[in-house]
Chain A
Amino acid sequence: MSRSLALRAGGALLALALVAAPAAAQQQNTQGQGTEGPAGGAPEVQSVVPEVGDGRGGMNNQVPETTEKQAPTGGERPAPMREVAPTPAAPITAPPPNTARGDTSADEMELQRTLRGGVIEGRTTLPDTAAAILIQPEGRDWREFRNQWLFWIGAAAVVGTVALLALTFLVSGRKRIEAGRSGRSILRFGVLERVNHWMVAVSFVLLGLSGLNITYGALALRPIIGPEAFTALTFWGQAVHQYLSFPFVLGLFVMVAVWLRDNLPTKVDIAWIKAGGPVAKGHPPAGRFNAAQKALYWFTMGGGGLVALSGYVLMFPFTVTDVGGQQWAHIVHGLMAMVMIAAILGHAYIGSIGMEGALEAMSTGRVDYNWAKEHHSLWLEQETAKAREAVAPPSGARAVGAD
């Protein structure tokens, strides 16, 4: 009760003040008009020169500008100014001209960085650290790489490999199983190995196509399908490129787990290469994988690893490196990918139309007995030995009816 009363009283006071304030101002205003403005009954036309009132330049009521004691006038005069400036004790040398002060020159700095590398860097108030680089001439080299080196190296690698394989197929045709199909088969790749292989293969093909589109699409595809459609394709292509990197890398890890042991180099590989390798007369003995397959395996692991690492650097730009590092990541990624596409083209050729009986190893997982005998004789011997052991009677067991 008492509080509301106080509030009401306060409100009343405030209202009073609000009403009173303009009223007071108005009062002041009328007073001012009374003294300064034209008084009632004054002539309409006034003199051009404004009247000078109190404190507005009049001679009377002058206020001193300082509280300092004023020097009396009419006393002794100060010493006259010297005609010549005093000679300094030590000679003052003239400042060097601006051009000779070792000052920064935009032209020189840019030329130097262009020739010797490096960036012109400073400081900004922006949180983006990349903004502190004023000029980076390396971009020119990277442009040269992307538009010239990668373009032509990639074209040569991919088109060259396709041409070479086509020529091989035309000249020597399909490699047949020399002894013909035996009708018996043996398991070469288990379910995990096959599923993993195709996961990596499908990812690789899509990664390769979307990657090639980034390098060659603007030239090859854009004029055909139009800018809008090409942008849509490339946008989804790069999304596919990013997301499929994960199954690809996962597949590489599985390949390390399941195939590493069989791909360690052995003495047999040296003999296989010495015998002529893939173009040998007859069939030099080989284990589960021959030297060429092992080479491809290690190339895929190493190259795939490099491509994946550089790819992740590009996928998360500027998290681990600066603009120069990003350029290098692209150089490694692009070159390695082109070479890998060429190598995998060769692999796909041999695995499909290039050799009879090879594709079924990755489709059904079983290969023909004669194919295995010709291409992986040592592996076949091992497998048959293992099989014999598995079905062999336990030692001490006697044949039926031996008693």
Chain B
Amino acid sequence: MARLKFLCDADRCIECNACVTACKNEHEVPWGINRRRVVTINDGKPGERSISMACMHCTDAPCAAVCPVACFYGTADGLVLHDKDLCIGCGYCFYACPFGAPQYPRVGNFGGRGKMDKCTYCAGGPQQDNSRVEYTQYGSNRIAEGKLPLCAEMCSTKALLAGDGEIIASIYKERVQRRGFGSGAWGWRTAYKETVTT
């Protein structure tokens, strides 16, 4: 079984935010919620890098570990998904998440922050695949259609890679070898407790 992961090649990312836009449009994500975002570190300085970040679908996911109502579940492909019908919007997953992935529709009127929303790796939720209710709650289910996440497919410079962890790691390794440099797979040490050694 494949272990689906994301890898952002920061040396290719041009901060065009197409992944962010593609994600918002594909899933009709409401205002104020960004399942994916682009962070630029060392902005305007030497060593500037832009990294597209969303839920990394961690191994031993912290969000799932701290959830007081245990609404998270893992798929056979290693994805970390959640059941919005069980979520109470307490915000604990955001405190535990290293990547700031969980998003809430409301900022916090007495802690009632609405059902948490996060990147589903375009794999929907526990509802019937590609049903109307699944689309409303989680957005489209491209994985069920045999497609990869739209953010990675849309990426104009192919900086954002999605797919089986071993395959995307080998693509990245090959790139680094060919061009002679690479800042590494951002978030991999934190999310998967491994790095892409080149």
Chain A residues with CB under 8 Å of chain B are 97-99, 101-108, 110-111, 114, 120-126, 128, 130-137, 139-140, 142-143, 146-147, 213-215, 217-218, 222, 227-228, 230-231, 234-235, 238-239, 242-243, 314-319, 323, 326-327, 330
Q: How far is the CB of B6 from chain A (nearest CB, A)?
A: 13
In the docked arrangement, what's the CA distance between A385 and B198, Å?
89
Q: Does B39 contact A (CB under 8 A)?
A: yes
Q: Does B144 contact A (CB under 8 A)?
A: no
Q: Is the Cβ of A110 less than 8 Å from the Cβ of B69?
A: no
In the docked arrangement, what's the CA distance between A105 and B187, Å?
11
In the docked arrangement, what's the CA distance between A228 and B91, Å?
19
Residues 65-107 of B contacting A (Cβ, < 8 Å): 65-71, 83, 85-88, 90-92, 94-100, 107
Q: Is the Cβ of B34 less than 8 Å from the Cβ of A126?
A: yes
Question: What mask results when residues 102 to 118 of chain B are scored 1 for a CB within 8 Å of chain A, else 0?
Answer: 00000110111100000
Q: Is the Cβ of A124 less than 8 Å from the Cβ of B95?
A: no
Extra 19 A-B pairs, beta carbons < 8 Å, given A122-B40, A147-B65, A228-B86: A101-B47, A102-B46, A103-B181, A104-B42, A108-B184, A122-B41, A123-B41, A124-B39, A134-B186, A135-B187, A136-B100, A137-B190, A140-B62, A217-B68, A217-B69, A231-B87, A243-B110, A314-B111, A319-B108
In the docked arrangement, what's the CA distance between A217 and B190, Å?
28
- Residue in A99, A102, A104 whose CB lies within 8 Å of B49: A104
Q: Which 7 A-B pairs have the closest CB atoms?
A: A98-B181, A106-B184, A122-B41, A122-B39, A110-B189, A106-B186, A235-B88
Q: How far is the CB of B177 from chain A (nearest CB, A)?
A: 12
Enumerate chain B residues within 8 angstroms of A222, measured Cβ to Cβ.
Answer: 69-70
Q: How far is the CB of B10 from chain A (nearest CB, A)?
A: 7
Q: Does B59 contact A (CB under 8 A)?
A: no
Interface SS of B by simple majority: loop
> Given A124-B37, A231-B85 in contact, is the A106-B68 Cβ separation under 8 Å?
no
Interface SS of A by simple majority: helix
Q: How far is the CB of B67 from chain A (nearest CB, A)?
A: 7
Enumerate chain B residues within 8 angstroms of A132, measured Cβ to Cβ.
Answer: 39
In the docked arrangement, what's the CA distance between A122 and B43, Å?
7
Q: Does B32 contact A (CB under 8 A)?
A: yes
Residues 1-53 of B contacting A (Cβ, < 8 Å): 10, 17, 32, 34, 37-43, 46-47, 49, 51, 53
Q: How far is the CB of A92 from chain B (nearest CB, A)?
A: 19
- Residue in A102, A231, A318 whose CB lies within 8 Å of B47: A102
Q: Is the Cβ of B68 less than 8 Å from the Cβ of A142?
A: no
Q: Closest residue to A317 on the B side, CB-wise?
A: B108
In the docked arrangement, what's the CA distance between A356 and B81, Å?
56
Enumerate chain A residues within 8 angstroms of B94, measured Cβ to Cβ.
Answer: 323
In the docked arrangement, what's the CA distance between A119 and B185, Å?
17
Q: Is the Cβ of A121 less than 8 Å from the Cβ of B41?
A: yes
Interface-central residue, A102, A124, A316, by most chain B CB under 10 Å: A124
Q: Is the Cβ of B111 less than 8 Å from the Cβ of A242?
A: yes
